[in-house]
Amino acid sequence: MWYVKPLKDKAKFIAELLEIMLFVFAFSWFAQHYVLGFAAVKGDGMLPLLGKNNQVFVMKLFKNASALSRGDIVIFTDKNNNDNTVRLIGLPGEKVEIKNGLTFINGKPIYEPYAHTPLTYEMAPVIVPKNNIFVLNDNRSDQKDSREYGSVPFEWLKGRAVFCYWPWTKIQVL
């Protein structure tokens, strides 16, 4: 029967196509929820590096604070369910303070070429608790960071921004 074979081949082709589509869907869902996501910068706190509505890729693969480094740009969701894009400054157990616009970690000044700080800005010393990080905006006049929220619990972290892909004029590795 010459007409049965093409019908059987079509059914096999459709079954294989559905299997491939299911695999691609499952893989992309897993990757977006657990490996790599997307985020929009919601304000001017990271100017001049990242402005409002810049779009970034977010790496979600990390298990603890030791996978992050000082200077990383992280995204966290605050207690009001707002996403914030900020720079990691203090790690658990460190003492963070700001004197005359300079940030000090454990009494030593750190080099921050990205920070735009009013020269007279001050912040009393704070010890970062275990399983928390201390974050600041690059635009230090925008205080929606650890100066307002306190230390950020590790559970609030969504990931580390790794690449800005929009707008085209701001494409860069972060």
Dihedral of CA 117/123/127/132: which sign? negative
Average pLDDT, the chain: 85
Within 8 A by CB and 6+ apart from 35, the residues are 59, 60, 61
The verdict on 30 and 75 lying in the same domain is no
Q: What is the per-residue pLDDT for 108?
A: 95
Q: What is the per-residue pLDDT for 1?
A: 47
Q: How many domains does the chain have?
A: 2
pLDDT tens by residue, 30-71: 777 677 788 889 888 888 888 888 999 898 876 566 678 899
Report the alpha-carbon distance of residue 163 to residue 151 in Å, rounded: 25
Helix and strand counts by DSSP (H, E) for the chain = 2, 12
Rounded percentage of the chain residues whose pLDDT exceeds 70: 90
The verdict on 165 and 116 lying in the same domain is yes
The verdict on 118 and 88 lying in the same domain is yes
Q: What is the per-residue pLDDT for 75?
A: 92
Q: What is the CATH number of the domain that holds 123?
A: 2.10.109.10
Who has greater pLDDT, 119 or 9?
9
The verdict on 1 and 67 lying in the same domain is no
The verdict on 42 and 20 lying in the same domain is no
- Could you tell me the pLDDT band of residue 7, with boundaries at 50, 70 and 90? low
Under 8 Å between Cβ of 3 and 29: no
Model pTM above 0.85: no
* Domain region containing 29: 1-34
